[in-house]
Amino acid sequence: MLRVGLTGGIGAGKSTVAARLAEHGAVLIDADRIAREVVEPGTEGLAELVAAFGHGILDAEGALDRPALAARAFGDDESRLRLNAIMHPRIRDRTVELMAAVAPDAIVVHDVPLLVEGGMAPNYHLVLVVDAAEDVRVRRLTESRGMSEQDARARIAAQASPEQRRAAADVWLDNSGSRDIVLAQVDELWADRLVPFEAAVRLRKPRKPRSPEISPYDETWPAQAERALARVRLAAGERSVRADHIGSTAVPGLAAKDVLDLQLTVSTLDDADAIADALSDAGFVRAQGHWFDYPQDGGAAPEQLWHKRFHYGADPATMVNLHVRSARGPAWRLALLFRDWLRANPDEVAAYTEVKHRLARAHSGDGTVEHYAEEKQAWVDAGFVRAEVWASRTGWTVEDAS
């Protein structure tokens, strides 16, 4: 099952996007709808709301008078938090039930207005944010839904800012323009990303080999890595000792292949094996075969210390290499040291960039990164020696790495 979290501020267009995804075949779980279900007449939820907010929130038939509750709940923070405390656990329980009933090959779209506010982003394979300028949203809500401007603005004030949503967004859809524009983007997202993503996770599909193309440093790499790391940490649970962004994309200013290298630290490789399925299900598919860190014969160290497990991100739009290593292995420490040494030494970043460009040109016709990677390793090995010198001069330890 592929879980897509869909969110956005009130009136941004979530329902519009969700309906289109459902037309393509997505299974929709709508948090606003569940929020209605759990307070239907006769429910415990409704009784608790009445106990908290009084009989004034009921209409003549004894059902919830939604505008009356909205007027009370969005008036001040304390009331809103009281409302949330009654509603959210009930919404959560019902959501878990609905998710459990979904077919294993489904693409589930979970429409959750408060996804970012609730820190839920790492639960999804992909977070989709729909946005539109605040004034556009207020106009749509007042014109087509008959909501008062005051109510619309009060809810906006109680929700996450666009910046907070941006940090959580794997996909950002701007719905300030016409419906057609956003719907065309949704169609493309479905066909090019969600469908292959779901199949790759379910079938544990191997990744296709690629040519070594070097991109200029991308300012969004750290944020992309952070989102992936949050998912990795959640899937690994207590077996995650730490999880870091490593490799070239973790060094500001360094040109690199557009691939995020992540390192998940576990105590032992048995732990790595125990979480292999959980990581695969979360979108980081375990690669078959035996994986070793360079040098492949294990060098002077006991051979087992050089083994690792390797997973790759199944999202076709974001290349991720996930190295799962034991904290006792030397390659584990070197990965962090090499990154921090480069971050502290701009001259080395410039030299490394030059080497990468040269090798990428030389091997652009190979169709795989194998030879490129082999030759690059020579520079990296020499870099390790200089990094060690730097570490002893500056007193760097792994505890400093963050």
Ligand X SMILES: Nc1ncnc2c1ncn2[C@@H]1O[C@H](COP(=O)(O)OP(=O)(O)OP(=O)(O)O)[C@@H](O)[C@H]1O
Ligand Y SMILES: CC(C)(COP(=O)(O)OP(=O)(O)OC[C@H]1O[C@@H](n2cnc3c(N)ncnc32)[C@H](O)[C@@H]1O)[C@@H](O)C(=O)NCCC(=O)NCCS
Enumerate binding residues for ligand Y (CB under 6 A).
10, 31-32, 35, 66, 69-70, 73, 80, 83-84, 87, 91, 112-114, 155, 158-159
The verdict on whether residue 14 carries a ligand-binding annotation is yes
Measure the CA–CA gap between 319 and 284, rounded to whole angstroms. Answer: 10
**For ligand X, which stretch binds (CB under 6 A), given 3-11, 78-86, 341-349, 388-396?**
3-11
- 15 touches, from ligand X, ligand Y, none (C-beta below 5 to 8 Å by class): ligand X
Q: How many CB atoms lie within 10 A of CB 194?
A: 25
Regarding 144 and contact with ligand X (CB under 6 A), the answer is yes
Cβ proximity to ligand X, 33 vs 210, nearer residue? 33
Cβ proximity to ligand Y, 35 vs 223, nearer residue? 35
Amino acid residing at 269: L
The verdict on whether residue 394 carries a ligand-binding annotation is no
Backbone angles phi, psi at 35, to 5 degrees: -60, -30
Contact 132, 12 (CB under 8 A): yes
Regarding 178 and contact with ligand X (CB under 6 A), the answer is yes
Place of tokens 């080497």: 355
Contact 215, 257 (CB under 8 A): yes
The verdict on whether residue 12 carries a ligand-binding annotation is yes
Measure the CA–CA gap between 242 and 225, rounded to whole angstroms. Answer: 14
- 16 touches, from ligand X, ligand Y, none (C-beta below 5 to 8 Å by class): ligand X
Q: How far is the CB of 191 from ligand X (least distance, A)?
A: 21
- 35 touches, from ligand Y, ligand X, none (C-beta below 5 to 8 Å by class): ligand Y
Measure the CA–CA gap between 227 and 205, rounded to whole angstroms. Answer: 22
Which residues in the 186-245 window bind ligand X by CB under 6 A? none
Regarding 339 and contact with ligand X (CB under 6 A), the answer is no
For helices 179-189 and 14-24, the axis angle rounded to 10 degrees is: 40
**Alpha-carbon torsion 20, 21, 22, 25, what sign?**
positive
- 235 touches, from ligand Y, ligand X, none (C-beta below 5 to 8 Å by class): none
The verdict on whether residue 142 carries a ligand-binding annotation is no
Cβ proximity to ligand X, 144 vs 220, nearer residue? 144
Q: How far is the CB of 95 from ligand Y (least distance, A)?
A: 9
Cβ proximity to ligand X, 138 vs 251, nearer residue? 138
- 13 touches, from ligand X, ligand Y, none (C-beta below 5 to 8 Å by class): ligand X
- 159 touches, from ligand Y, ligand X, none (C-beta below 5 to 8 Å by class): ligand Y
Give contact residues for ligand X (rule: CB under 6 A): 8, 10-16, 32, 113, 140, 144-145, 175, 178-179, 182
